[in-house]
Structure 1
Amino acid sequence: MTAGPLSAPAASASLQEWLTYLESIHPQSIDMGLERVARVAASADVLEPAPLVITVSGTNGKGSTVCYLETILQTAGYTTGVYTSPHIVEYRERVRINGQELTNSAHTEAFAVIEKARKNTSLTYFEFGTLAALWLMKANKPDVVILEVGLGGRLDAVNCVDADVAVITSIGIDHIAFLGNNREQIGREKAGIARTDKPLICGEASPTASIVETADRVGAKLWQVGRDFHRNEKADSWSYRSQYTQLNDLPLTKLPIINASTAIAAIEQLPLPVTLSAIREGIAKAALPGRMQTDSYKNCEILLDVAHNPQAAAYACQYLDKFYPKHKVFAVVGMLSDKDHSGVVKALSSRVCDWYLGSLSEPRGETSGQLAVKAKLPNESCHLFDSVEHAFCEAVQAAEQYQANNGKALVFGFGSFYTVARITAHLKGV
């Protein structure tokens, strides 16, 4: 006999008690569709969380685009509410009001409200958390809410809210079990966030026909990179141009500049004045945990990124070439079973000298042995470990030895949010 769902905690219960409860109340971790979540959103009165809403979808670049939007708008003097997923270390990272995380009790209060509003409607962990985040946004009354789509777009819980500006960052092959196995199918799902007579900003350099078709069918105002807005990168700065403005000498950051230009294009569509100085300063402030995150450990340089598909891995390779051209790279990798392991490894093979693979015990986690086989790594450069933490420690030791005798070394951890979370926790001594 299997146990049924837990009883709902009290509003005063701990955040962990609530999160455990959220994991128990729906038979599937992912259940695409808007009917259930929209019904509860209406009951909880969270369908309009702020005067202005921006929704951000895409395969890669969602988090950095959200970050650029957030820092630019805050610098311009506007209050923001941000919802992203998944988190790196703790759940509270998913909701930010004016750049600040909220208390545990704020989250549990929101969970209690959604629990009452849902009545007998079953919600997944993500759906419940999304609705609670929308409630928190509305309660804090920001000027602009920025919502990151969790998976796809059309059927994602975030899409129950009608955005004033919709953004698609990029289209790559990922989550094929839910979104399709080619760019056209995935593009169609991502474009499901488009709304009639509202701007749809596309930062995808080669947009799929399905995105254009969806925008036409819905009646959205498609703004396309390379056509309606442009960027030009130099060695020490970059510029942005559209029919509205020309911005020169913009600062470079660790986050992809293509996503900064996409964020500026989205801001141009808002009925809010934003100065050039706010854009420049906001871009310079942009930084995001788990996205080209730098650290040091035992005299070793550490770089962490949540890259887990070939497109993101290719960007990581370019980043290593640009910022670590003379470093020998020791990779620490943990991945989920449904990813393109060989594609990720191939994209980084020109820069990585040794691979330290760690098993992930999380749902869909791959063992290091399975990952080595699927990634088709050569035995002489592949080292297998029972955990990401163990793999990380061994990679650091190897990097230290190399530095003592040869030159510069970098330990680069990537492959999953779980991988970055485990290494981050280890660095913090958690």
Structure 2
Amino acid sequence: MRPSIESPLAQWLAYIEAIHPQEIELGLVRLSAVAARLLQRDRPPFVFTVAGTNGKGTTTAALAALSRAAGQSVGWYSSPHLFHFNERIQINNQPVSDDLLVQALCAVELARAETSLSYFEFTTLAAFWLFEQAELSVWVLEVGLGGRLDAVNIIDPDIAVITNIGLDHQNFLGPDLASIGREKAGICRAQRPVVLGSSDLPETLNAYIDQVGAQAYRFGDHHKVVGATLVWQGGELDAGAISIPLANAAAALQAFSLSPFALTPVMAQVALQSIRLAGRMQSREHRGRHYILDVGHNPHAAAYIARQFGAQKFHLVLGMVQDKDAKGFCSALAQGALSINFVTLAGPRGCSAEQLALATGRADSPQFATLELALAQLDRDFPGEPVFIGGSFYTVAAALNLLEN
């Protein structure tokens, strides 16, 4: 049954999840038709759009923080969420309320008529409707999957950012880095800036930038990280207490410097130092044990995590969904492992601990039905030794709930 304006948010989310036959359907034709009926777009805001394999969340967080520090009203759209759906749609750094979300979903439902929308398409339009209603001056948009055919790409960005390219979602984006790079590059626009957050990018991405006529700002040439210093065109600052990946912070600073808004390096530093994102190399102390938690779930992310470990070794507790490269992810972390422990991830896409152990070629590794059982075993066998928990947003959300409660 179709919910109403009086229905709770949970009922609406269940409804939009059920009405479309596919969880993910890339393409902009259906979406654009609904958007034309839903959105006014008479006073377009300034738009930053961020794509990439990893680092999109931290880069969009940085752009939102910098824009807020410059006195702008900011809508920040990201995905997925850790605990509550509302985390995905934030206005001036605050998740929108259930009531506002229900209003937005009602508006999309009315505008779509008989057009079928996926869950992500439906909620993306809800975010845009909310941002438009609030008359915000800046929209910061995180691409959900790929770029060219992602729902976010119906909005033309004033400045695009592509953080990096790695292997993930090959069943949708293509089998190799060349294919994936081409899809990510689809957010570029002619005569508008695109900021590149890595110097290691496939040639297909650079070729598309040239073909479209976008203005490329390249990592290493226009912005970079030198030791503990972030450098971009027009400034530099000490990375100091900045907790997000420094390459992402440098790309955000470069992108922001190309906007009409301005901050001194000191103001930018304060804004970036204020960012705290749950589940991104998050440290927790609990009952005398040090925990690190990270939502990264592909080999590229695992390589970054391993670099952050440095010389320290951790007991790894990993839970993943079925369509990820579990073997590549685990292999990238293995050198920093005191032990590797697999946990069953509940839900239709979740891997069982046994499946995960077999997929990684580590059938003899400890396997647990729940995260709680895994941590209890580590408490008995290795009290006080550091633990890393990751492999999925779902795994990290469960761990944070467990540690906090």
Q: TM-score, normalised by structure 1?
A: 0.91
What does residue 346 of structure 2 align with?
361
Contact 1:50–1:141 (Cα < 8 Å) also in 2 = no
Conservation of the 8 A alpha-carbon contact between 2:243 and 2:273: no
Tell me which residue corresponds to 2:272: 283
Match of 1:253 in 2: 242
State yes or no: 1:410 paired with 2:393: no
Q: Residues of 1 paired with 2:375 and 2:118: CA distance? A: 33
2:168 corresponds to: 174
Q: Distance in 2 between matches of 1:143 and 1:392?
A: 46
Question: Following superposition of structure 1 onto structure 2, how do residues 31-430 of structure 1 map, counting pairs within 5 Å?
Answer: 31-45=25-39, 50-233=44-227, 237-242=228-233, 245-321=234-310, 325-326=311-312, 328-377=313-362, 379=364, 382-400=365-383, 403=384, 409-429=385-405
Distance 2:42 2:316 in 1: 44
Counterparts of 2:42 and 2:350, CA distance in 1: 37
Residue type at the aligned position of 2:389? G
1:173 is matched by which residue type in structure 2?
L
Please tell me whether the aligned partners of residues 235 and 265 of structure 2 are also in contact (alpha carbons under 8 angstroms). Answer: no
Distance 1:422 1:59 in 2: 23
Q: Distance in 1 between matches of 2:363 and 2:21?
A: 40
The count of corresponding residues between Structure 1 and Structure 2 is 405
Q: Secondary structure, in 3 states, of the residue corresponding to 1:266?
A: helix
Deviation per CA, 1:170-219, whole angstroms, max 9, x where unpaired? 00000000001111100000000011111111112212111111112212
Equivalent-residue separation in structure 1 for 2:222 and 2:215 (angstroms): 11
CA distance in 1, matches of 2:371, 2:44: 40
**Deviation for aligned residue 1:413:** 0.7
Q: 1:102 Cα shift?
A: 1.4
- Tell me how far 1:428 sits from its aligned partner: 3.3
**Tell me, what secondary structure is at the counterpart of 1:178?**
helix
Gaps of at least 5 residues in structure 2 are none
What amino acid is the match of 1:421?
A: A
CA deviations 1:303-337 (Å, max 9, x no partner) are 1101111111111111111xxx44x4111100111
Tell me, which stretches of 5 or more residues in structure 1 are unaligned?
1-6, 404-408
Aligned alpha-carbon RMSD (Å): 1.6
AA of the residue aligned to 2:213: G
Alpha-carbon offset, residue 46 of structure 1: 5.7
Pick closer, same or farther for the CA change 1:63–1:396 going to 2, 3 Å.
farther
Amino acid corresponding to residue 289 of structure 2 in structure 1 = C
Q: TM-score, normalised by structure 2?
A: 0.96
Contact 1:153/1:193 (8 A) holds in 2? yes
Q: Answer whether contact 2:279 2:295 (CA < 8 A) is retained.
A: yes
CA–CA distance in structure 2, aligned partners of residues 205 and 180 of structure 1: 21
Instruction: Render the CA deviation track for 1:47-67: whole Å, top value 9, x for unaligned.
Output: 578520110000001011011
| Alpha-carbon distance between aligned partners in 1 of 2:70 and 2:308, rounded to the nearest angstrom | 29
Taking a change above 3 Å as real, the CA distance of residues 367 and 238 of structure 1, as seen in their structure-2 partners, is same
**Partner deviation per Cα, 1:45-98 (whole Å, 9 max, x = no partner):** 165785201100000010110111111221222221100000001101101111
Q: Confirm or deny that 1:20 pairs with 2:5.
A: no
Q: Identity of aligned pairs, percent? A: 38
Q: Distance in 1 between matches of 2:226 and 2:40?
A: 40
- Give, in whole Å, the separation in 1 of the partners of 2:180 and 2:41: 25
Amino acid at match of 1:420: V
SS in 1 for 2:4: coil
Quickly say closer, same or farther: Cα 1:230–1:109, change in 2 above 3 A: same
**Greater Cα offset, 78-87 or 41-50:** 41-50
Query: How far is the alpha carbon of 1:396 from its aligned partner?
Result: 4.2
Pick one of 2, 20, 41 that aligns with 1:8.
2
